[in-house]
């Protein structure tokens, strides 16, 4: 499955939102857009840092049982990894599942094998 990241201007995003809003208000079906959207390449770079991309790859390859295990796999501090995983989850690039196996754990997963990057020109 592919994940999609798109760069589009704020104006384009607002235009798409207004069109969807009008269609919904008129009772027409609205197809939700799939993917993660940024308003600039710089904004995408702030989220998709090399360390966060490393986390995406480690999650996909190793399927860690917890964020703590992920931190150990990549040799980073738990607090920093946890913050990065939360950021990736907020952008829809990582899914998090809470599990209780003795103590509460959060299991990270990457729901795709490829990231497709689109930039409107």
Domain ranges of the chain: 2-119
**pTM for the whole structure:** 0.80
pLDDT value of position 50? 96
User: Quick one: which H or E segment has residue 107?
Assistant: strand 103-109
Q: Which CATH number fits domain 2-119: 1.20.1260.10, 1.10.10.10, 2.40.50.100, 3.40.50.2300?
A: 1.10.10.10
pLDDT of 46-80, one tens digit each?
A: 999 999 999 999 999 999 999 999 999 999 999 99
Residue bearing tokens 């996909």:
60
């Amino acid at each position: 499955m592919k994940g999609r990241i798109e760069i589009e201007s704020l104006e384009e995003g607002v235009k798409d939102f207004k069109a969807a809003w009008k269609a919904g208000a008129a009772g027409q079906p609205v197809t939700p857009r799939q993917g993660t959207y940024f308003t600039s390449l710089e904004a995408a770079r702030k989220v998709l840092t090399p360390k966060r991309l490393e986390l995406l790859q480690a999650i996909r390859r190793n399927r860690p049982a917890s964020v703590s295990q992920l931190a150990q796999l990549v040799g980073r501090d738990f607090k920093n990894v946890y913050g990065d995983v939360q950021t990736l989850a907020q952008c829809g690039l990582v899914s998090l599942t809470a599990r209780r196996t003795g103590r509460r754990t959060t299991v990270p997963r990457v729901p795709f094998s490829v990231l497709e990057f689109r930039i409107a020109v």
